[in-house]
Structure 1
């Protein structure tokens, strides 16, 4: 098979399926954990399709119940009666009670078992009381039964849960779309250089796959032949296609442009970027925030309030009227209308929407509390290199105190060739451009906050910064080096056996987005700080260009963390944004740690939030998202709690002297309506 032949394979693969299942499972778990944290697990197992089916079957059965019930006789004066009519009414109502009401009854049993009664117990109490009372009236007494109210109550509750489930699933759409990004198979390049279409689970690390124009990348990898443009929008939020060439890394699920490329697989399955993103979002959605914990406590409290109110309502109405029927009616309405359904959903639905929005815009939330804390930030601290600057250094000046420039660069390159820092890359690139032969360096070791050291041709060399020279070789004339630093350049010095033999100056362009970020922070009334290991002059120059409020320079990794602690002791809440290993202590110390996506694994593991687009401007979106999330949470809490504060007395009949009395069915409508409003309010959340 050649590279232009199309695949006809329709295999499904385990990795693909497992990632899809992870997306589905997350939505189910999120609903169980958050949507009704206090509700029965059995109820949560029913997806919206099950509620839809139960709703329509129950609705059909409700039609004959309407014509046979006492309610119809009361409203129309027409009594439909025939032999067995009571039994038909009872049988139809019993089917609705057990079939339509089963999710609520099962939820109640689980809540009672776990000694955690809440919404499902309230609903079940209401329908059980209505069913038993109506049965007793029908067969053993005279009076008005409530089978019509029972049926309509169950119908409305099923409809409300169906709508709610749709809202929850809609909130997880972004995550589900991620889970469906992978193709079904891959074009494997065999050892005989032939193309074989295989299921994706058979692809292993180190193998070469062919990706045709317009196809999805099947696995994380590195391009080994060809060049193209890759659309990574669904993964990083970056809408424009990214140019890729030999050596460039590609992400599973992104879409290839109009060129055929060959990719060496570097990660599959659970190790892939896509799978890790899904897990991050899933974990973030499961984590409970302070506001959500508050809503859970309020929902539990409301159960006991509603139960007490129901019992009290029954006692007072029976005492005043001696009417069992009306007393039961009032008590059932109170139990229904007080269900903490909206309260239980108020926060989880907002969280589901906000984490989906963050994923769509390239923000990966590793610790959900960070999303709540970001709105409280006073100061945002940035690392300089690779965060506020491009991190793409260019060697601009070479000063050789002894020997030639080529000899100086040759030693620099021998040591830096073993490092991955952008400064090292620029020096190595300079050596290559001069076609200088590379020498071997032994015992190369990084010196934290200083540089590195190693042996070349038997001599011990060190590459150090300005601060090291001031501390250990203060007698040196550094006038010219300081002039370079004043221009915003980074200066690295080379020592041979502790004697300086020359230095180089390297320039790093300030990111255009960094200027917009600092300006945006000031508009949000936040302060900006820069923490860098670079020299004071370089730091001040960059700080002046960007308009940064605080500049802290010549810092060791532990100094960055200590600086953040110092500001936090002064009652400033600090967010740290960085990309390197030396930023990890600061990321861990700050109230919120944010890693730039192109940074190191250590920084990623320490951070609370990852900016996958490597754009510091996304910090502004994070803060705005945090504010909007909190605003929606408070709105939903007030609506859910405020509704119950007003509705319970109304359901109990405090306005009965004025002729205003709510039936159980109307109570169910109001309760379901509050839930739907909370769900819609969460879905309307938007962040500019």
Structure 2
């Protein structure tokens, strides 16, 4: 049951105000307390205030109980509803008997217990709602990736802008430089580069030309293209990814908390014990009033005061500790699942690596030219380009104080690199190895070290038809990534790397980090499928990612962990967020989950343990030998268990 924190807060404070006079004017389970007052008409005030408390304060629990019973899965809400309904109904019966019918035998009421139970339960649920960050709308943010309008070719050859929802398959749209592609399609005309990070997770431009497929929502580069639409609406690729996220989130919300399982068992135990005591005491005494009193006492004592606070208090404490350590817990069941984790799947770019291209090495193959002089020519060729590779070259030159060489006639070579003319009229290029092979230009593959060739992008400087230098660029591995992988193995977790990058890069990064299992060239649906495969084999899966392409797998995993520097879509699909974008924080999250699980179990035993002892005694199991749990003793035990769970929750710390 999803209850708004603001509504719970309002109900809590209103009920707290209403409960004060009830506590002052009514006895605690039949026992007059020193601070209590009584005057003519006070029982009427108590009955009226209790009716408001039951209807207004108890509404969330009564509504939740109805939903649980409809689903045939009674849990915490049903147990609370049983307690407050029994306490209210029997107390109103006692009020009528004592104040209206003036029965000679005073009937004990439970107004005091009703008020305290409703206030404590509202407080517990409000604490839990505040402790959990509000979930964002991942699907809405994914929908916003598509532009609002598209430029569609008309019958006369002109182009007219239409709303995106009016696009139809077969139409041709024009996409200008820098615009987002409005729908899935195939390029009819033009050449460009496209940033498909929402598909691959790799923030680099992909060369596209006629007959190349493009995905709606991806970013067009510096060329104008005409695209024939092949998929719109529900048939589009982005819509299919959104459906994956929606389905995974819906299935994950069905997960059941440990507290609900315990509450279900207590509900059945309380109902069974209460009915059994009713029958047994009626048979023994032939007095229905006595039998009813025992049954009601069982139901009221079963009210989960301590149990209702046991989990919210631990959750609030763990959320606070997590926040101080850069861990934001967004969904209540994240830590419960995290403690049983077996496999940690991690995206590469932005998670294990920095997620930004940097120059790793620059060399000159011309004895008469230094590497800095080669870098100056490269910076001149890339001046004015917004391509990630170009930006890292110009940034390095600027950092080193190297002035870019003047280049004339600069132009892009689609799918290969850039070209231009030096001041002396010499033709120069900065291209990839594939272009050299196609043009039969000789080069030494060992010009850069082997590591650069394996895990980085290498471009070659060609001057007057000869290779005169080379530059290696790539995404640097985060300094803490190795420590994170090592820590996972020490804790018995299996690290798995999932990436949209190619096999050679993935292999090099995995080997460097010590990750034995990795999968490359993955699309969003591939990652989500792999998560499901591991789950079907009985593994509790943690997925760590930062990109739009990680959203389906983050939502599907038992615990989705988003890197704080990642996209809003990834964050909104996750159960927890690593604010510092540090993969080592996955270990802290795991250790916090273990500590929280230990405290949760302890508190559940304290909260439920009271009921395990109190319910049978309240039912009169030991009455034949003269031992009966009086209402006063039951109230003391109830209060004591509540204090214990509160103190125990405050001692929570991270294990390591």
SS in 2 for 1:99: helix
SS in 2 for 1:398: strand
Over residues 120-177 of structure 1, what are the superposed CA-to-partner deviations in whole Å (9 max), with x where a residue is unaligned?
Answer: 453342343244346536775765414xx53xx433553455556556666677789x
Tell me if the contact between 1:55 and 1:158 (Cα under 8 Å) persists in the aligned partners: yes
Distance 1:155 1:444 in 2: 81
Correspondence for 1:627 among 583, 587, 594: 594
For residue 359 of structure 1, what is the aligned residue in structure 2?
A: 323
Matched, 1:373 2:334: no
For residue 241 of structure 1, what is the aligned residue in structure 2?
A: none
Correspondence for 1:96 among 24, 37, 46: 46
SS in 2 for 1:614: coil
Tell me if the contact between 1:531 and 1:553 (Cα under 8 Å) persists in the aligned partners: yes
For residue 5 of structure 2, what is the aligned residue in structure 1?
A: 27
Tell me if the contact between 1:481 and 1:491 (Cα under 8 Å) persists in the aligned partners: no
For normalisation by structure 1, the TM-score amounts to 0.58
Unaligned runs of 5+ in 1: 1-24, 33-43, 76-84, 177-283, 446-451
Query: Against the structure 1 CA distance between its residues 687 and 101, is the aligned structure 2 distance closer, same or farther, given a 3 Å change threshold?
Result: farther
Tell me if the contact between 1:487 and 1:541 (Cα under 8 Å) persists in the aligned partners: no
Tell me if the contact between 1:310 and 1:332 (Cα under 8 Å) persists in the aligned partners: yes
Distance 1:395 1:109 in 2: 63
Moved more, 351-360 or 550-559: 550-559
Query: Against the structure 1 CA distance between its residues 288 and 98, is the aligned structure 2 distance closer, same or farther, given a 3 Å change threshold?
Result: farther
Tell me if the contact between 2:378 and 2:430 (Cα under 8 Å) persists in the aligned partners: no
Correspondence for 1:154 among 107, 111, 127: 111
For residue 613 of structure 2, what is the aligned residue in structure 1?
A: 646
SS in 1 for 2:449: helix
Correspondence for 2:583 among 605, 616, 623: 616
Tell me if the contact between 2:132 and 2:330 (Cα under 8 Å) persists in the aligned partners: no
Correspondence for 1:435 among 384, 390, 403: 403
For residue 393 of structure 1, what is the aligned residue in structure 2?
A: 358
Distance 1:606 1:496 in 2: 46
Cα drift, residue 335 of structure 1: 1.9
For residue 87 of structure 2, what is the aligned residue in structure 1?
A: 126
Query: Against the structure 1 CA distance between its residues 327 and 602, is the aligned structure 2 distance closer, same or farther, given a 3 Å change threshold?
Result: closer
SS in 2 for 1:504: strand
Aligned length: 508
Unaligned runs of 5+ in 2: 67-77, 134-248, 422-426
For residue 106 of structure 2, what is the aligned residue in structure 1?
A: 145
Distance 1:603 1:138 in 2: 61
Cα drift, residue 429 of structure 1: 1.9
Tell me if the contact between 2:281 and 2:290 (Cα under 8 Å) persists in the aligned partners: yes
Distance 1:602 1:105 in 2: 40
Matches within 5 A, 1:652-667: 652-667=619-634
Over residues 316-371 of structure 1, what are the superposed CA-to-partner deviations in whole Å (9 max), with x where a residue is unaligned?
Answer: 32332234553343122112112245445554554444444433432334555544
Matches within 5 A, 1:409-428: 410=377, 414-415=381-382, 418-419=385-386, 421=388, 424-428=390-394
Query: Against the structure 1 CA distance between its residues 365 and 59, is the aligned structure 2 distance closer, same or farther, given a 3 Å change threshold?
Result: closer
Tell me if the contact between 2:318 and 2:596 (Cα under 8 Å) persists in the aligned partners: yes
Moved more, 521-530 or 648-657: 521-530
Query: Against the structure 1 CA distance between its residues 555 and 59, is the aligned structure 2 distance closer, same or farther, given a 3 Å change threshold?
Result: closer
SS in 2 for 1:613: coil
Moved more, 113-122 or 327-336: 113-122
SS in 2 for 1:291: coil
Tell me if the contact between 1:567 and 1:574 (Cα under 8 Å) persists in the aligned partners: yes
Query: Against the structure 1 CA distance between its residues 439 and 522, is the aligned structure 2 distance closer, same or farther, given a 3 Å change threshold?
Result: farther
Query: Against the structure 1 CA distance between its residues 399 and 670, is the aligned structure 2 distance closer, same or farther, given a 3 Å change threshold?
Result: same
Cα drift, residue 618 of structure 1: 0.8
For residue 492 of structure 1, what is the aligned residue in structure 2?
A: 458
Over residues 68-88 of structure 1, what are the superposed CA-to-partner deviations in whole Å (9 max), with x where a residue is unaligned?
Answer: x9978xx9xxxxxxxxx9xx7
For residue 137 of structure 2, what is the aligned residue in structure 1?
A: none
Cα drift, residue 528 of structure 1: 3.1
Over residues 608-641 of structure 1, what are the superposed CA-to-partner deviations in whole Å (9 max), with x where a residue is unaligned?
Answer: 5432212111111121223334444444444444
Matched, 1:136 2:97: yes
SS in 2 for 1:610: strand
Tell me if the contact between 2:348 and 2:498 (Cα under 8 Å) persists in the aligned partners: yes
Query: Against the structure 1 CA distance between its residues 684 and 120, is the aligned structure 2 distance closer, same or farther, given a 3 Å change threshold?
Result: farther
For residue 577 of structure 1, what is the aligned residue in structure 2?
A: 544
Tell me if the contact between 1:332 and 1:664 (Cα under 8 Å) persists in the aligned partners: no
Matches within 5 A, 1:243-262: none
Correspondence for 1:522 among 477, 482, 489: 489
SS in 1 for 2:11: coil
Matched, 1:334 2:298: yes
Correspondence for 1:46 among 11, 14, 19: 11
For residue 322 of structure 1, what is the aligned residue in structure 2?
A: 286
Distance 2:577 2:410 in 1: 35
